[in-house]
Structure 1
């Protein structure tokens, strides 16, 4: 499959971003809609991954990088969850971080994957917090050492 990455703006493209995130998080994962979308969406950098078709491009995945360097809201439509899609998405987000001089990248992971992320070189940041009814921990590492995280544990 051929994919295209678009760097998109929330104000202009939120309908495409929301459609993917609603499918994945609200409908599939049962995350409350009011906790899926937040005030950081408006100022975050968003990427959209499209599958190239003969007649049209189909939006299949999205992710965001907040102003403080947090990568999250990684949503990939069912049927497209494979390593090439995740690699393309993370590569695009890391490229955005480099372009905007973000030096520390952060992820928010569930508590059961903290030790996994520590093994990759992440360090815990701050206190445990709740997000959509799930206890989470922020983890961070320098952008130049950012490993491919356990995407099944992210949101």
Structure 2
């Protein structure tokens, strides 16, 4: 199966984006809806990834400061190709905006994947929606997706 990623407008595709994120974050990971959807949604760039049948299977967003977040993929489509496609597209958007660095607020189990790929820890571990996370930074020029597999 192949996939394709497109940049979409939050206002125009809000229902599709929310449906995917609710399914993954709210129902599967039990993140409160009021935490999952925030003021950054209206200010961020959003992407959606669709399968061969044009069904939306995942999404992610890029905040104006370079934070990549809200990467959500329907369970049956969680594979390296989907995550690599989403991440590469979001990094390309960041580069097109002239950003030098990208950031992620990573769950602790995934920190080694990011660190092995050139990300650097920023600050202390913090709690977000009851989940311990580590902020990581990577220069866009050093970004590559080979080690990434299962991101939420």
Q: Which residue of 2 aligns with 1:24?
A: 24
Q: Which residue of 2 aligns with 1:37?
A: 37
Deviation at 1:58, TM superposition (A): 0.6
The number of aligned residues is 151
Q: Secondary structure at the match of 1:147?
A: coil
Q: Which residue of 2 aligns with 1:4?
A: 4
Q: For structure 1, list consecutive stretches of 5 or more residues without a partner in the other structure.
A: none
Question: For residues 68 and 90 of structure 1, what CA distance do their matches in structure 2 show?
Answer: 16
TM-score of the aligned structures, taking structure 2 as reference length: 0.90
Q: Secondary structure at the match of 2:55?
A: strand
Q: Which residue of 1 aligns with 2:88?
A: 91
Deviation at 1:116, TM superposition (A): 4.5
Q: CA RMSD in A?
A: 1.7
Question: For residues 110 and 48 of structure 2, what CA distance do their matches in structure 1 show?
Answer: 26
Question: For residues 29 and 51 of structure 2, what CA distance do their matches in structure 1 show?
Answer: 23
TM-score of the aligned structures, taking structure 1 as reference length: 0.88
Question: For residues 43 and 9 of structure 1, what CA distance do their matches in structure 2 show?
Answer: 10
Over 3 Å counting, the alpha-carbon distance change for 1:64 and 1:137 in structure 2 is same
